[in-house]
Structure 1
Amino acid sequence: MTEQKRLSVGDPAPDFRLPDSTGKDVSLADFRGRHVVVYFYPAASTPGCTTQACDFRDSLGELNDAGFTVLGISPDKPAKLAKFVADEKLTFPLLSDESREVLVEWGAYGEKKNYGRTITGVIRSTFVIDPEGRIAGAMYNVRATGHVAKLRREIGV
């Protein structure tokens, strides 16, 4: 596999401006001064991504109470995200990166192993951004199941 960009603790979080499920633009800079969890997932309404999104939804109250905002990003079109939000009653923004530029910039798109084969696609990844806009946690190749619980333990929520 080729060398891919990876973000590390202390790196500035690359800013982005992406449309959410309603078509409204959302920028990471909008959340400066707050803790943000940004997670990248392959595709809305697939089993693993649904599990992960619902885990974030079910933990959102505690995360918000601890000062964390959650943003999910995938290459899905806003209309598909809107259906996912409605179907799963998601209560946090899902953002559309159809061009995959943000995914690449964050190291969340590239070569990965899938059932023993090397493919190119979204690398399920989660980042914690501190109020100054720096990476406070970078997790690549996370598992959908149990990830939110593990993240909560790591950030003390």
Structure 2
Amino acid sequence: MPPVVWRGLMVMKALQQLLHEVEWGGLDVLVLDLPPGTGDTQLSVTQQIVLDGSVIVTTPHTLAVKDAIKGINMFKKVNVPILGMVQNMSLFNCPHCHHDTAVFGSNEKVHKVCSEHGIDVLGDIPLHQSIGDDGDRGKPTIVAEPDSARAAAFMQIADKISLQIGL
């Protein structure tokens, strides 16, 4: 299937329809997974709907952390509460030797940024092949492997967020 290539106006129209023309029913939470950055899409979301908060997700890689800081600054500027930061692909645990490796560099960068900006670290998601494979099969890790450490990491983060937004 070829990629969909849209100009900004087409993205804005699709976003408008998603937010205002879909009958969501009894919705408790709507999660929008947006690309990193501070573009028109992110700004439009903050202007068109009332947000309980944002969650910043980043890997420990230096460039990704810099993008995360841009997102933090944007959400602060538009007065959207930042619920915390999730560190994705934080560690890889070798299935053979069981040694943890910080593939994208030290996790200390994320903790330092959170400390500097007064943001909580909500949790760490490990780098593990089954997370992607589970998603490809249409079953998130918490459904496909509910007893795994990976599922527990997701659930702990969800629990922290739900407490902050009153669920």
TM-score, normalised on structure 1?
0.33
Of Structure 1 and Structure 2, the greater strand share is in: 1
Whose helix proportion is higher, 1 or 2?
2
Larger Cα Rg: Structure 1 or Structure 2?
2
Q: Which structure has the higher relative contact order (CA within 8 Å, separation 6+)?
A: 1
